[in-house]
Amino acid sequence: MPRSRIPLTNLALPRTPPVPPVLAAAARRWSSSSQTHARRNAMVALTSLAERRAEREDADAFLEAAAERRSGPAVPEPRRSADG
């Protein structure tokens, strides 16, 4: 038995109330405002990571220099003759 199709023009769809102009303007500004905040958060995070990396590199250089001072100057190995 074939089903009868109801024409879409006969469906009663609920009407949505109009959006107040203040909310419509806020909705239009939201995407650019959200992107601006996300960009700022990314810049703050990047700055923090760069500072931490610089501190880590400074600490590594200090520890390497301290290890060299502690071990003394490197003594070159004696040269061996070609005949062994």
Residue written as tokens 């600490």? 59
- Which is more confident, 81 or 10? 81
Domain-embedded: residue 78:
no
Q: Is the pLDDT of residue 35 over 80?
A: yes
Domain count, the chain: 1
Domain-embedded: residue 81:
no
Domain-embedded: residue 43:
yes
Cβ atoms < 10 Å from Cβ of 2: 4
Q: Which domain holds residue 47?
A: 23-69
Return the pLDDT at 6: 64
Q: Is the pLDDT of residue 25 over 70?
A: yes
**DSSP 8-class letter at 10:** G
Return the pLDDT at 62: 96
Return the pLDDT at 2: 62
Task: Encode pLDDT of 39-60 as tens digits.
Answer: 999 999 999 999 999 999 999 9
Domain-embedded: residue 52:
yes
pLDDT band at 31 (very low <50, low <70, confident <90, very high): confident
What's the Rg (C-alpha) of the chain?
Answer: 36
